[in-house]
Structure 1
């Protein structure tokens, strides 16, 4: 096994590399499922993290994405993408072993070590991801890229769901603050470290095609200046910045809100996370179909307001008195957020690519990623800093109805985290306004898009009455794989038809 690039990659070596690409997803997906998201926030709370620390931890994965810019220069100079990907993965994921050891301690020093380990892990992960993406672009054939990554996504999704449910069960049977809870968190991060190192080993066995010779130095400043001169793309960047700030001002604190203010267990938060993932998977195909048929902006005009309304709707969880009603409300909101964020994520990436001119997409996409990283990274930090301010404030609004048969009063009390959800709603409204200023060919009115959503949903419901419909509704990764294969066949048929078409100089067959 060599970490050096190969001048020639044989077809057999390429096929073996593509199989390993899918296999690697099982291990990297296991690492992510056991050490990120809700698990990471729950572990921070277990160590005694303050609201500011939770906000900082939530911002680290975004802000470290800025390291992809200097990583471009590193890759262009060193030109050994596999070595960069493997070394950054080994060093970064070794930090998970440090985090696993911290599960048995608490206090300021363990939290600072935890934060430092997270910065190293995410920072090296950003550098490695830059090398990985460029490497995979050269390894996977263009006509099979959709099929390969569909299978990889299937593995990632399946592992995340299974391990998410297992983590919820493990946390549910261990009381908070107990030694058993220490063992569970330590075991999760230790297992995440092991699967991460296995992932690096699998990556090292994949072939890397030799990069072509360098064409000259890259001037990042001039490269990133191009999108800012594009007025339409600049409007997209303003939307992206305000949108990312709105959702990341509130969503990183969902776990804190549910555990500390609503007094639910971490296991219930994990169940909500799984519910959201399932809704995300089931809705992805619908949004993909509609974005291909119409325009990305039209899908965004439906998904973005629905997602913002769901965030504001979290306020209702603190107003209901019945715990069962609160649970059902949170499950409903996470279903809506999971389904709509699938459309937002898909179309916001697609619209950035669509509005990028051919031949200069790299600069435009990199600028879009930078804006996303800065806005999404600063929002939770500001949210954590304002936590104490909102904790000492309360807003009460009483709606009263009086009639001959008596009076009825409906009090609405906003406390600490409720303010976050309301502020996120106001910023989200501004983001939706900025979205309306973006020009994209093929867009339709939101009302028309809602009609299309309802039509697609009715069609899906009708299909559920048959066995084929059930398979189509539950087997999304396989459906994506079939769609990718059909697109490839269609492209080949169109190319063959063009080759058979007579040219202008050809004699008339009549």
Structure 2
């Protein structure tokens, strides 16, 4: 019989069983995420007739929900029953996916409002459960095996996400937009996500929970968050984080809307772009991890951040080409670039927050960084959605004309609707990069030198491919994920110390 009560003593057999279940659970939770979040969530909202403002609110929900982790800290400290909190929030949250599956067969304002309410409940409960889950896993997994265990989870999560992403692309490609078959596909995906989510909660319920030690006293959240704000260098980092998150989340949540409504491509093509971006992200993680360890996180950001912003701005170029095949190649190339560079940004952004946190106060600093990230990333898509109608009624035209004895060459450049978003994101992104230059980090090098190191690493990889060792390294992705996960686990230990 399954018990949700903490155990005063966890035997080695129970711990090993729990660690095996931890990896198994990733298959089901990864399936839920792959079938009900990201591009699929936006596509489903468009299928229901969501406005641009609604798309923006849906995109902001996961970020703003993270603010609930602050009161969740108090809940965990008071109840001291992390498994119970994680299981119940998971069960209640995943049941919202069943409601979303039923809504696939309806249209109108009320179904959309119900869809939004279900998503908000799902994200809010997920944030509360995540707080309990992280503290629980910290005590369950032995420190010397944290990297190995969570790396296996990462491998399964990645594999499931890619496989189900491709399956979803094929299913959407075989059905016509607005058809009953498309209703069935979306209903099937969210119903399957609900089932896998409930199975995930069942697996979690079978894992042992070590008993929490007695509470040392009440947690003063206000004082906890004040400390980082008194640190001048960390304040400069927070300004960069806020402006950066606002820049990228002002535009990226609307990529699906742009590609489907303005460029008139199918949702299945958007899914292919998402898969391509994920693959580039995975392959680039090892390179950025090596460079961030060898040099400084700020140096990695100085290369990745401008490249990512440039790719966002270049999305406006997709609406300038008449050749549909050229547009497809353009979008694939940009998504590969964005996938590779956002891997470096995410890794370095997390690392630099930890590195600039003084020993003994990392939790407060990282928590403040997370709050700023959630607030900026949550507000940006809401504002973007509200401004969509404003930009939809405006157009900017620029004509480049070259005259010579041989004739006249004219190149028109027209910005409409979502093109404005990409340029605005670029301007805010440039400001964020400027703010990054004011942050001080030991060991940083100039951008030009960092680019040289990047090219050297790339050339070394290409040369190795022609050798036996190089062929073997092409199958070394799981090992790379293990190493990256170990690094992340070390960061989490520092954060919680």
CA shift, 1:486, in A, is 11
> Paired residue for 1:342?
343
Counterparts of residues 311-390 of structure 1 (less than 5 Å): 311-390=312-391
Aligned partners of 2:151 and 2:486 also within 8 Å:
no
1:34-89 Cα shifts (integer Å, max 9, x gaps): 00000000000000000000000000000011000000000000000000000000
- Aligned: 1:453 with 2:454: yes
SS in 2 for 1:357: coil
CA shift, 1:470, in A, is 3.2
> Paired residue for 1:505?
none
Aligned partners of 2:289 and 2:484 also within 8 Å:
no
Aligned partners of 2:140 and 2:210 also within 8 Å:
yes
SS in 1 for 2:400: strand
CA shift, 1:477, in A, is 2.4
Name the CA shift for 1:33/1:454 in 2 (closer, same or farther; >3 Å): same
CA shift, 1:469, in A, is 2.0
> Paired residue for 1:170?
171
- Aligned: 1:233 with 2:234: yes
> Paired residue for 1:267?
268
> Paired residue for 1:392?
393
User: What is the distance in 1 between the residues matched to 2:246 and 2:131?
Assistant: 24
Aligned partners of 2:155 and 2:481 also within 8 Å:
no
Counterparts of residues 396-411 of structure 1 (less than 5 Å): 396-411=397-412
SS in 2 for 1:356: coil
User: What is the distance in 1 between the residues matched to 2:118 and 2:238?
Assistant: 31
> Paired residue for 2:243?
242
Aligned partners of 2:154 and 2:481 also within 8 Å:
no
User: What is the distance in 1 between the residues matched to 2:24 and 2:468?
Assistant: 30
SS in 1 for 2:409: strand
User: What is the distance in 1 between the residues matched to 2:92 and 2:33?
Assistant: 16
> Paired residue for 2:75?
74
> Paired residue for 1:116?
117
Counterparts of residues 98-497 of structure 1 (less than 5 Å): 98-481=99-482
The alignment's C-alpha RMSD in Å is 1.4
SS in 2 for 1:168: helix
- Aligned: 1:3 with 2:4: yes
User: What is the distance in 2 between the residues matched to 1:381 and 1:18?
Assistant: 39
SS in 2 for 1:414: strand
1:212-248 Cα shifts (integer Å, max 9, x gaps): 1110001101110000000010001000000000000
157-166 or 18-27, which moves further after superposition?
A: 18-27
SS in 2 for 1:317: helix
1:476-497 Cα shifts (integer Å, max 9, x gaps): 2223326778999xxxxxxxxx
Name the CA shift for 1:43/1:453 in 2 (closer, same or farther; >3 Å): same
1:132-159 Cα shifts (integer Å, max 9, x gaps): 0111111111111111111110000000
1:320-374 Cα shifts (integer Å, max 9, x gaps): 1100000000000000000000000111011111111111111111110100010
CA shift, 1:7, in A, is 1.1
Counterparts of residues 5-84 of structure 1 (less than 5 Å): 5-84=6-85
TM norm structure 2: 0.97
Q: Which has the higher Rg, Structure 1 or Structure 2?
A: 1
User: What is the distance in 1 between the residues matched to 2:415 and 2:331?
Assistant: 17
139-148 or 363-372, which moves further after superposition?
A: 139-148
CA shift, 1:467, in A, is 4.3
CA shift, 1:464, in A, is 1.4
1:408-465 Cα shifts (integer Å, max 9, x gaps): 0111000000000000000000000000000111111111111111111111111212
Aligned partners of 2:464 and 2:470 also within 8 Å:
yes
Aligned partners of 1:249 and 1:380 also within 8 Å:
yes
Aligned partners of 2:36 and 2:193 also within 8 Å:
yes
| Aligned residue pair count | 488
The gaps in structure 2 that reach 5 residues or longer are 490-497
User: What is the distance in 2 between the residues matched to 1:193 and 1:179?
Assistant: 21
SS in 1 for 2:474: helix
Aligned partners of 1:282 and 1:473 also within 8 Å:
no
1:155-199 Cα shifts (integer Å, max 9, x gaps): 000000000000000000000000000000000000000000000
User: What is the distance in 2 between the residues matched to 1:191 and 1:68?
Assistant: 28
SS in 1 for 2:213: coil
Name the CA shift for 1:167/1:467 in 2 (closer, same or farther; >3 Å): farther
Aligned partners of 2:147 and 2:488 also within 8 Å:
no
User: What is the distance in 1 between the residues matched to 2:319 and 2:487?
Assistant: 48
CA shift, 1:12, in A, is 1.4
Name the CA shift for 1:108/1:463 in 2 (closer, same or farther; >3 Å): same
SS in 2 for 1:147: helix
User: What is the distance in 1 between the residues matched to 2:348 and 2:370?
Assistant: 14
432-441 or 478-487, which moves further after superposition?
A: 478-487
CA shift, 1:5, in A, is 0.8
User: What is the distance in 2 between the residues matched to 1:180 and 1:472?
Assistant: 43
The gaps in structure 1 that reach 5 residues or longer are 489-510
User: What is the distance in 1 between the residues matched to 2:81 and 2:325?
Assistant: 55
Aligned partners of 2:31 and 2:164 also within 8 Å:
yes
Aligned partners of 1:81 and 1:132 also within 8 Å:
yes
